[in-house]
């Protein structure tokens, strides 16, 4: 499978579990690596002070009564063990780094799959390595239940939850009028272009619009009025969207509205 991946997270740094464990030990040692201080001790300690509360309600006895967030670290405890954690995820990838300073332990996990195993595996490792009381099965019960929830959400995204199509309502403009560059202050740029393509099963050509947004590049099919249907599919996300173009008082296309599942967004023509 050819995948065009353009995720550039964490400053586009490349790493692995061995590097992450080494980095975690530097934090546990307050900036020390191989007997030398490479980071300011006070600065490292400052990152491990809580500045924001992450939970309003009191939690179960396994964890700290209140979880807080420092400068890049989630600060918690698990069965009496202090834990500094940071994790991250993008579609298809997850990472987890847990530091347990009282036991001089660093747990680093990377996975190319959407599963909550990484969020729970550090608790499983602590139970096993430190022989802590077993209060639940973090792998079999929690992992399976929460992972099913993730993929149920993906399945719901793939469903075509569009408004009912109104038949025989053509667009107000020729297809070329929709061609252009559109932008949103957060979601970035979308490029609408016009191409000639062969009709399915024939040698005849037809003009089609295409919707390009970063790695997504989809044919756009007319739905009704000035709304067109596009398909944003990759190796994880399968989303059908309705692109509804807007016309200004001069009769020109000025932008479009689209909903990626979190409410309507407006892209303006540049």
* Tens of pLDDT, residues 100-133: 999 999 999 988 776 666 778 899 999 999 999 9
pLDDT in tens, 223-261: 999 999 998 876 666 788 899 999 999 999 999 999 887
Instruction: List all residues 6 or more positions away from 191 whose beta carbon is below 8 Å from its beta carbon.
Output: 180, 181, 182, 211, 212, 213
SS3 259: strand
| pTM exceeding the 0.85 threshold for the entire prediction | no
Residue 130 CA to residue 103 CA, distance in Å, equals 8
Answer yes or no: is 168 within a domain: no
Quick one: 149 and 179 in the same domain? Answer: no
138, 123 Cβ separation under 8 angstroms: yes
Q: Is the pLDDT of residue 25 over 70?
A: yes
Give the residue from 158, 156, 153, 118 showing the smallest Cα distance to 138: 118
Tell me, yes or no, whether 137 and 179 share the same domain: no
Task: Tell me the two tokens of residue 105.
Answer: 């332990």
pLDDT score at 11: 54
69 forms beta bridges with: 52, 74
Q: Give the pLDDT confidence of 194-231 residue by residue, as tens digits.
A: 998 777 767 778 899 999 998 889 999 999 999 999 98
The answer to whether residues 126 and 184 belong to one domain is: no
> Does residue 162 fall inside a structural domain?
no
The SS3 of residue 219 is strand
Domain count of the chain?
A: 2
Tokens of 119: 């969020």
Looking up residue 188, the CATH number of its domain turns out to be: 2.40.128.50
Residues 140, 16 share a domain: yes
* Together in a domain, 148 and 192: no
> pLDDT averaged over the chain?
86
Domain boundary among 157, 185, 200: 157
């Amino acid at each position: 499978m050819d995948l065009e991946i353009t995720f550039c997270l964490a400053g586009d740094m490349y790493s692995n579990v061995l590097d992450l464990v080494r980095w975690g030990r530097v934090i546990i040692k307050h900036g020390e690596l191989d007997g030398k201080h490479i980071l300011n001790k006070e600065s490292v300690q400052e990152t491990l002070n809580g500045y924001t509360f992450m939970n309003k309600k009191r939690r179960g006895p396994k964890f700290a009564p209140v979880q807080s967030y420092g400068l890049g670290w989630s600060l918690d405890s698990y069965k009496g063990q202090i834990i500094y954690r940071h994790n991250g995820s993008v579609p298809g990838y997850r990472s987890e780094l847990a530091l347990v300073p009282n036991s001089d332990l660093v747990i680093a996990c990377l996975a190319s799959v959407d599963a909550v195993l990484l969020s729970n595996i550090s608790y499983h490792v602590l139970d096993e390595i430190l022989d802590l009381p077993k209060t639940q099965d973090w792998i079999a019960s929690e992992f399976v239940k929460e992972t099913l929830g993730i993929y149920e959400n993906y399945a719901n995204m793939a469903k075509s939850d569009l408004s009912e199509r109104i038949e025989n309502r053509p667009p107000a403009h020729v297809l070329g009028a929709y061609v252009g560059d559109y932008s949103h202050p957060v979601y970035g740029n979308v490029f609408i272009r016009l191409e000639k393509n062969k009709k399915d099963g024939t040698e005849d050509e037809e003009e089609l619009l295409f919707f390009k947004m970063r790695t997504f590049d989809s044919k756009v099919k007319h739905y009704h009025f000035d709304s067109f249907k596009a398909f944003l599919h990759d190796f994880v996300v399968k989303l059908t969207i309705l692109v509804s173009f807007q016309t200004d008082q001069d009769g020109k296309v000025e932008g479009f509205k689209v909903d990626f599942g979190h409410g309507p967004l407006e892209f303006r023509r540049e």
